[in-house]
Amino acid sequence: MRRILLSLVAAGVCLGAAAWAQEPVTSNVPPAPNIGVRGHVEGLIIPAIPDAPFSARLVVELSGEWADGATVRSSFFNVVARDSQGRVHQEMRRLVPAGSGRESTLMSVTIMDAPKRERIACSVEQKICRVTMFFPQVKLFDEPEGLSRDGKSYLTREKKGTEMLGDQQVERTLETRTVNVGAEGNDKPLVSTREFWYSPSLKINLALKRVCACGSIQDLRVTDLQLTEPDATLFTPPAGYTMIDLRPARIQQRQ
């Protein structure tokens, strides 16, 4: 089963089991009850492969409960895209109360340019784009099933077969991670599940549902999927931003 790591919540209990060897887009967002200590959110990791263009909205909903049983739901969306050259556009926005009608505020834009081997991370608040080296790696790896390296948890993976999600054929997989008693100061096993709906043609997850042992639930889905060449402006830095090149001087001179 191929999958893309989609990890929310920096609480440390519900860690991902598989990933592309490629850096994620991250952002800090306002915390919500039982959704993480600092509300740290990682975006969709998209492999920088050519000849598989698309654009879409990535919609994420988080829910958790207060001690009195009240449920709190938050959501946000990001625009994501990949062109035929393998360039990737990602955004990060702030959480807003689900159903509030408020639009998520754009925090950052990241462009990963595989042909140029550069990553451009732009802060909307600072109006600054920082350029760093980018080494696209599309080799996939899965954490082996069974006991983890540190001996603290046990992972099982169950393939659920193929099905259609919209007009895309996807592979569905369920992972269950059990943290052993005492491994995190817990007096009972901590069980978390992650369910993926993976598109082999696009090499991304089109949906994910994650139920954390801490009680939070993450629902992620790709919507408004277009399989045509994205707008070229998505792969250029925003106008008026200050560019700061953090790459070695010898690399800058080659550009």
For the chain, list the domains and their CATH numbers.
18-250 (2.50.20.10)
Residue 111: Cβ within 10 Å count: 23
Here the tokens at position 168 are 């895309």
For residues 123-135, give the mean pLDDT. 95
The three-state secondary structure class of 153 is strand
d(C-alpha 78, C-alpha 42), whole Å: 11
Band of pLDDT at residue 71, cut at 50, 70 and 90:
confident
d(C-alpha 201, C-alpha 91), whole Å: 23
Instruction: Specify the pTM.
Output: 0.80
- Report the pLDDT value the prediction gives residue 102, as an integer from 0 to 100: 87
Residue 98: Cβ within 10 Å count: 15
- Report the pLDDT value the prediction gives residue 250, as an integer from 0 to 100: 64
Which stretch, 8-12, 142-146, 177-181, has highest mean pLDDT? Answer: 177-181
Phi, psi angle pair for 227, to nearest 5°: -100, 25
Residue 178: Cβ within 10 Å count: 17
Residues 6+ away with beta carbon under 8 Å from 185: none
- Report the pLDDT value the prediction gives residue 103, as an integer from 0 to 100: 84
Higher pLDDT, 250 or 32: 250
- 154-211 tens-digit pLDDT: 999 999 999 999 999 999 999 999 999 999 999 999 999 999 899 999 999 999 999 9
For residues 126-135, give the mean pLDDT. 94
Which stretch, 23-27, 76-80, 210-214, has highest mean pLDDT? Answer: 76-80
Band of pLDDT at residue 80, cut at 50, 70 and 90:
very high
- 15-45 tens-digit pLDDT: 333 333 333 333 434 333 333 323 434 457 7
